[in-house]
Amino acid sequence: KEQENEAARTRDNLRCPIIVIMGHVDTGKTKLLDNIRRTNVQEGEAGGITQQIGATYFEPKTLLTRCEKLNKTENLNLTLPGVLIIDTPGHESFTNLRSRGSNLCDLAILVVDLMHGLEQQTIESLNMLRSKGTPFVVALNKVDRCYNWKSTTNNDIRSSLKDQEEGTTQEFRSRAEEAKLQLSQQGVNSNIYWEMGDDDWKNSDFVPLVPTSAITGEGVQDILLLLCRIAQEKLWRQLMWCGNLQATVLEVKAIDGMGMTVDIIIVNGTIREGDKVVMCTMDGPVVTEIRGLLTPPPSREMRIKSEYIHHKEIKGALGVKIIGNGFDKVMAGTPLMVVGPDDEEEDIKAEVMSDLKSVTENLSTD
Q: What is the contact surface with ligand GDP in residues (CB under 6 A)?
A: 23, 25-31, 89, 141-142, 144-145, 213-215
Select 215 or 330, whichever has its Cβ closest to ligand GDP.
Answer: 215
The CA distance from 65 to 28, in Å, is 24
Question: What's the min distance (Å) between Cβ of 33 and ligand GDP?
Answer: 8
Integer angstrom CA distances of residue 346 from 30, 278, 320, 343: 42, 10, 26, 9
Do the beta carbons of residue 104 and residue 94 sit within 8 Å? yes
Select 209 or 215, whichever has its Cβ closest to ligand GDP.
Answer: 215
Tell me whether residue 306 is exposed, middle or buried, using C-beta atoms within 10 angstroms of its C-beta: 0 to 12, 13 to 18, 19 or more. Answer: exposed
Select 178 or 346, whichever has its Cβ closest to ligand GDP.
Answer: 178
Do the beta carbons of residue 52 and residue 320 sit within 8 Å? yes
* Residue at 353: amino acid letter: M
Question: What's the min distance (Å) between Cβ of 309 and ligand GDP?
Answer: 30
The CA distance from 361 to 32, in Å, is 35
Cis geometry, peptide bond prior to residue 179 (ω within 30 degrees of 0) = no
Question: What's the min distance (Å) between Cβ of 139 and ligand GDP?
Answer: 9
Select 89 or 208, whichever has its Cβ closest to ligand GDP.
Answer: 89
Select 92 or 313, whichever has its Cβ closest to ligand GDP.
Answer: 92
Can you spell out the DSSP letters for 265-306?
EEEESEEETT-EEEEEETTEEEEEE--EEEE--SSHHHHTTT
* Residue at 195: amino acid letter: E
Question: What's the min distance (Å) between Cβ of 60 and ligand GDP?
Answer: 26
Q: Which residues contact 306 (CB under 8 A, 6 or more apart)?
A: none
Select 215 or 352, whichever has its Cβ closest to ligand GDP.
Answer: 215
Sheet holding 284-289, edge to edge: 284-289, 276-281, 335-338, 246-255, 259-268, 318-323, 292-295, 309-311
DSSP code of residue 144: G
Select 30 or 169, whichever has its Cβ closest to ligand GDP.
Answer: 30
Select 28 or 285, whichever has its Cβ closest to ligand GDP.
Answer: 28
Select 211 or 269, whichever has its Cβ closest to ligand GDP.
Answer: 211
What are the start-end ranges of the H helices in the chain?
2-8, 29-37, 43-46, 60-66, 68-74, 92-95, 120-132, 157-162, 166-185, 198-202, 220-234, 236-239, 300-303, 345-365
Question: What's the min distance (Å) between Cβ of 208 and ligand GDP?
Answer: 18
Taking phi over 0 as left and psi of -120 to 50 as alpha, with beta for the rest, 8 belongs to: alpha
